[in-house]
Amino acid sequence: MSFEKNLLQMKKLIKKKPVKPQLLTPFVVPQKPKYTDEWVKAGLTVIENEFGIVFEKKIIYDLDHIHGDIKLSEVFDALALWNSFQGVHPISTEGQQVIFFDTETTGLKGTGTYIFLIGQLVWKKGHFEMTQHVLADPSNEAAFLYESNLWKPGHTVVTYNGKSFDWPQLQTRWILNREHLPRLADPVHIDLLHGSRRIWRNELDQFKLVQIEEEKLGFKRVGDIPGHLAPIIYLDAVKSGNPTTLLKVLKHNEWDILSLLTLYVHTTKLILQDQYNDSSVSSTNIGKWFSDLKDFDRGQVAFEEIISQYSKSEAAQAFYYLGFEYKRRKQMNFAYEAFEKSLTNLSDVWQIKTYEELAKIAEHVKKDFDAAIGHVELAVLLLHQTKNLKPLQKDRKKMEFNKRLQRIINKQTISRASADFDT
């Protein structure tokens, strides 16, 4: 009997188990919480869908509504700037509906952490509309998530630390309810925390949204609740049925989201409008951001504008980065001059880096070995004096500079010997 026939005979002996059809667990709509009427009296609206109920609050803002120093309608100017922008940037929009989005949660991480408040601000014909959805209780989570409409595609989400916190939390809760909900959309995501760190690095000590509001957006909260109390307040409202203090959490969330819009406007103008300046530090950081994105032309233009608008000491960092732009274009004399001018107001660590760049150009381009040695010696002196580098970093740089110094001295010796021979 052939091998194939043997296999067929053996297959007949195998008992085939009947395939059981997959049993889908029917969704049981949860009951309304006992405190539903109390929450409605406090100003919340009950929304019912196929998965249960969710509490909702809507707030309408006129186009002329001002939050801090910025009118909400200025967001249209910001969007127009990005629409005409020819390039790639992390906070550029792509013509989709923009949603300013923030959440409040019962904790910081873990599957036991619920999102209990989702706030969204969008533009609708003739006005802005904020919608806040409040989780009725954990049994109504599917209804809460579904009503957010975040499963619908075609929008851009703007958050503050949302890439690290809000959106991952939302994804976790969505996964736990995936048997009932449509797939969560994968929107374009603009996280303004990242942009704020890029723009105000070395200028702001902290990057909490409240600090950004006060120092950059002209908004100061009065009567705000600390964010870390929000989970306790929500859980107490569910337990007691009294939503009075919970409404302060909604106000906290409302301010967060309005500040997202005004921060988006402010950062857009800083990045794209030349005449809209904040400080030499932020302008330099924006130029560096363009350079890091390989948009070297815009980076160079930004640095040159800073140099023309600010004093030499205020523009020191811009001179430093401009040196690299010239160096990239093989304009070594301009690069050398820019690095020299940057030394006026840089910290010791940055001066060490600058002297290293000057030494490179003096050695390899200018063939001015005396100048190269002088730059290396000044860098080594600063290296001994600085307290802003770790011992291992200092040791490594000392070895590099000693190696460079010895090479330059050798070149200088050969050059002088050659000159003596020629004479």
Domain assignment present for residue 90? The answer is yes
pLDDT at 13 over 70: no
32, 136 Cβ separation under 8 angstroms: yes
Q: What is the pLDDT, as a whole number, of residue 34? A: 96
Domain assignment present for residue 96? The answer is yes
| Ramachandran angles phi, psi of 120, nearest 5° | -140, 135
Of residues 399 and 96, which shows the higher confidence score? 399
Adjacent-strand bridge partners of 132: 57, 119
pLDDT at 335 over 50: yes
Of residues 88 and 15, which shows the higher confidence score? 88
How many folded domains does the chain comprise?
A: 2
257, 272 Cβ separation under 8 angstroms: no
Q: Are residues 66 and 212 in the same domain?
A: yes
Domain assignment present for residue 303? The answer is no
Q: Are residues 141 and 219 in the same domain?
A: yes
pTM of this prediction exceeds 0.85: yes
Q: How many Å apart are CA 153 and CA 63, to the nearest integer?
A: 26
| Residue 314: strand, helix, or coil | coil
Domain assignment present for residue 299? The answer is no
Domain assignment present for residue 93? The answer is yes
Q: How many Å apart are CA 65 and CA 131, to the nearest integer?
A: 17
| 38-93 per-position pLDDT tens digit | 999 999 999 999 999 999 999 999 999 999 999 999 999 999 999 999 988 999 98
Percent of the chain whose predicted confidence (pLDDT) is above 90 = 85
Mean per-residue pLDDT, 89-107: 92
Can you give the residue range of the structural domain that contains 335? 312-422
Strand locations in 127-232, DSSP E?
Answer: 127-134, 155-159, 188-191
At a CB cut-off of 8 Å and minimum separation 6, what does 53 contact? 32, 36, 46, 47, 136, 140, 143
250, 57 Cβ separation under 8 angstroms: yes
Q: Are residues 267 and 331 in the same domain?
A: no
Mean per-residue pLDDT, 156-165: 95
Look over the chain and give the mean of its residue pLDDT values, rounded to a whole number.
92
Q: What is the pLDDT, as a whole number, of residue 17? A: 57
Q: Is 9 exposed, middle or buried (0-12, 13-18, 19+ CB in 10 A)?
A: exposed
Q: Count CB atoms within 10 A of the CB of residue 182.
A: 11
Residue 399 banded pLDDT, cuts 50, 70, 90: very high
Domain assignment present for residue 112? The answer is yes
Q: What is the pLDDT, as a whole number, of residue 299? A: 96
pLDDT at 1 over 90: no
Residue 107 banded pLDDT, cuts 50, 70, 90: confident
Kind and range of the H or E run holding 119: strand 115-124
Q: How many Å apart are CA 346 and CA 339, to the nearest integer?
A: 11
Residue 23 banded pLDDT, cuts 50, 70, 90: very low
| 305-315 per-position pLDDT tens digit | 999 999 999 99
Residue 22 banded pLDDT, cuts 50, 70, 90: very low
Which among 212, 242, 272 is the end of a domain?
272
59, 254 Cβ separation under 8 angstroms: yes
Domain assignment present for residue 31? The answer is no
Which among 206, 240, 272 is the end of a domain?
272
pLDDT at 209 over 60: yes
Residue 108 banded pLDDT, cuts 50, 70, 90: confident
Q: Count CB atoms within 10 A of the CB of residue 85.
A: 15
Q: How many Å apart are CA 250 and CA 131, to the nearest integer?
A: 10
| 358-378 per-position pLDDT tens digit | 999 999 999 999 999 999 999
Q: What is the pLDDT, as a whole number, of residue 24? A: 45
Q: What is the pLDDT, as a whole number, of residue 419? A: 67
Q: Are residues 370 and 316 in the same domain?
A: yes
* Angle between the N-to-C axes of helices 348-361 and 369-385, in degrees from 0 to 180, rounded to the nearest 10: 160
Q: Are residues 332 and 253 in the same domain?
A: no
Q: Are residues 92 and 235 in the same domain?
A: yes
Q: Are residues 346 and 256 in the same domain?
A: no
Q: How many Å apart are CA 77 and CA 82, to the nearest integer?
A: 9
Which among 208, 242, 272 is the end of a domain?
272
pLDDT at 137 over 80: yes
Q: How many Å apart are CA 306 and CA 301, to the nearest integer?
A: 9
Q: Are residues 331 and 223 in the same domain?
A: no
Q: What is the pLDDT, as a whole number, of residue 10? A: 55
Q: Are residues 264 and 322 in the same domain?
A: no
Q: What is the pLDDT, as a whole number, of residue 9? A: 58
Q: Are residues 214 and 85 in the same domain?
A: yes
Q: What is the CATH number of the domain that holds 399?
A: 1.25.40.10
Q: Are residues 216 and 123 in the same domain?
A: yes
> Tokens representing 19?
């395939």
**Sign of the dihedral through C-alpha 65, 71, 76, 82:** negative
Q: Are residues 266 and 321 in the same domain?
A: no
| 277-293 per-position pLDDT tens digit | 789 999 999 999 999 99
pLDDT at 3 over 60: no
User: What proportions of the chain, in percent to the nearest 5, are helix, strand and coil?
Assistant: 55, 15, 35
Q: How many Å apart are CA 307 and CA 283, to the nearest integer?
A: 10
pLDDT at 329 over 70: yes
Kind and range of the H or E run holding 239: helix 230-240
Q: What is the CATH number of the domain that holds 176?
A: 3.30.420.10
Q: Are strands 155-159 and 188-191 parallel, antiparallel or unpaired?
A: parallel
Nearest to 267 by CA among 194, 210, 208, 202: 194
Domain assignment present for residue 12? The answer is no
